[in-house]
Structure 1
Amino acid sequence: MCSAPRERSVFLGLLPWPERVQVARALRAETVGGLVLLAAAVVALVWANTPWSGSYEALRDFHFGMPALGLDLSVEHWAADGLLTIFFLVAGIELKRELVAGGLRTTATAALPVVAAVCGMVVPAAIYLTTVTVGGGRAGGWAVPMATDIAFALAVLAVLSTHLPTALRAFLLTLAVVDDLGAILVIAVFFTSDLNPAALAGAFAGLVVFYLLQRFRVRGWWWYVPLGVAIWGLMYNGGVHATVAGVAMGLILRTARDQDTGEDASPGERAEHLLRPVSAGVAVPLFALFAAGVSVSAPVLGEVFTRPEPLGVVLGLVIGKTVGIFAGTYLAARFTRAQLNPDLAWADVFALAVLAGIGFTIALLIGEVAFPDPADVGHIKAAVLLGSLLAAGLAALLVKRRNGIYRSLWEAENRDEDADGIPDVYKHSAGGPASGPTRND
């Protein structure tokens, strides 16, 4: 007797209700933070290209700190190495949640976003390396066009007033989470220098203590804040980029509630609730303010297209991310026999892949690490800004073209005729409002 054919899973279908609530909360904060990020980037660009650019450079390069502890840094480096640690801490919590209860919790649900994200990192790096090889440039910036800036991308969608379905936004969020992990691994492995084994051993010991505090359910910020600062300082002095400490602590924090004690929120949830506004509204915008202030004169823009390194960054962001993410998603869907949501089309996935070419925050960070020479990093930053702008413009055209379809899907997805806070589509499904329909993407 022949067995029944295996049912094809649905890709970009309706999210389960609990996951949708969590995703909506994260997307709302990232969108607001992205708008602040855009404003900070505009201020930096305007300030750096006016007669008052000298005051911008003086503030950016002003040093302060504690020299005895090896922490005498410029304002720009405090923003990159210090404030962005908060951003990566939140990213670590997001990744942990995705691994425990989100789209990365099983091989079946993780296959598509992970394959898409990996292809979206490998192809841009390959395009950069090809460009600099042909042009006789330096290969050190291969990682610059690898990462997606989710806050910037969501801000673009907010400015466009689009009604992109939650599933598409959630897929973009998961892509960005995996991207962030890839970026921090690249920074930790490939961009370390002058390693200090004693300091790194101290940082590792601090992480072990952090884990034990979580393991034995120790509560109280007075334990974790001083310990976290010590781990960060030791990581920085150890020669590894200090933001790695943020990701490590985020991955250690528990994101599942303790049922035995009736815990109303896990440590990860509480930390994310407190730190996400700081990350999105303060840390990332301040980093952008001191990292995005580059000259956009005609000679600089001309060198973006004539020098192999910045040209490789632009091509990697605009072409590499699009080709990598779209091809990776398409092939993974075919390999896993996933069926695209019939209400959507592969053109929607392509538009999302183009939007993922916005690589602002982490691309600027890697650019600073990979190109320590101020003259070189200025051209790389200009390339990141230009590439992200081109990706945003192309994505805007593609998304706007389909916005009528998105609007109808969004209205159906959010219709709540009895005004009880739960969309009607979840009540009509077998899963009910508590769990929602099962997503098998």
Structure 2
Amino acid sequence: MAVSWLRRLAARAPVPVFPALGVHGDAMLRELALDPGVELVGSPRHASVLLVAGGVPPDQHAALRRVHDQVPRPFATLWWRSEPLDGLENATRIDAPSALSDALIAAHRDVMLGRRGSSPRLLPDEPPNPWEGLGDDGHGGEGMMGGVPYGRPMAMNMHDDLRDGLTLDSLTFRLGPFFPALPPGMQAEVTLQGDLVQTWAVQHAPYPLGLDAVFFDARQQPVSIAELELARARYHLYRLFHGLWLAGLESVGLHVLRLARSLTPDSRVDGLRRRLARCGFFDLTMTASAALDDEQARQIGGPAARAAGLADDLRSEDANYRRLGFTPVCQQEGNTRARWWQALAEIDQSLALARQAAARDVQTSEVGSVETPRGPWREGQRPQDASHLLDELLPGLEWGEALAAIASLDLAAVSEWPLDASVAEPRTTPPEEYRA
């Protein structure tokens, strides 16, 4: 009777959902974040529903199976614009975003109330490292150290500490491609010694970014500067939301999302700056670490380069932007703190440009290239992936500093496919490499 009462109580609570993001899945993540019936959780072990949002390349299906089997039973899976894995042929696929929230709530309630069975396990129920009967005492260990006691490799002191010379045990593990603190699709092998990053090796680049269609249009014809700058400000607000969510500041993150959704040329961000200061965002994430040198800044381009003092911006080459008084805004330090200040400064600048352009109905004068919020898109050359720079940027940082640095960096390549103007209809022609 008590179990039945607890199940009914759980069924009425917001749905704990772990989002495994595929290509362009972050657009739906932002929609769900504003849904009061959904609670986005940072670990599959805290979820009752696994949501796979967006197409997942076949070479990452094995990682997705591991994430799937970490969700505690009973649980359900939903697939938004994504093909269910083999073994989950009866899982629910949703293509219409308007139906997703109701489907998540219904799946959660049905599982909690026992009206549907749990999603089956996809991996064999055996340890990844054999250990029983092995080693000196039959538990997998070898001597004083070494081996895989009880199936788990022992940490070993293989490196001198980069910070103070102490030799501590090091632990090597893999992150991604569905770890929320990494860009969707990124996978890395990391070695930690204590809380210090000893090595970082990107093994799979993040999925390409989908930009608003107005940036693609601007390469073909003159477009409204007001529309272009609002899309730019919205993009930076979405990145700020992600940083706030990772920092555990969900309420402020939701405020940022609502601001992004209702953005107009008359919007202001002065109140946002005060709120960020009060909630401690500047103290939590704006560390003076992970500074880019000039060469690294040029490889990334865009706001990251301007945060390092490089005043490179294709808008300077547009006569109509110059008539609006545009000049690039820059920071100097090039570190995590400078990149977040640069994002806030560019939001402010984009809104000011949008106000002037809307009042005078000004369009761009140049075509063929455009300054995207990720960086310059010159003739035939989209901004390229720069995630490999993490391999040289993160070693020597404490773990919290490393995650803050990743959140402040925009490293993924720009996709050749724009985001849908509305998420009301599914894309019918995904890129070939992401078709199931």
Point out the structure with max Rg over C-alpha.
Answer: 2
TM-score range, shorter-chain basis?
under 0.3
Q: Return the structure number with greater strand share.
A: 2
- The TM-score with structure 2 as length reference comes to 0.24
Q: Return the structure number with greater helix share.
A: 1
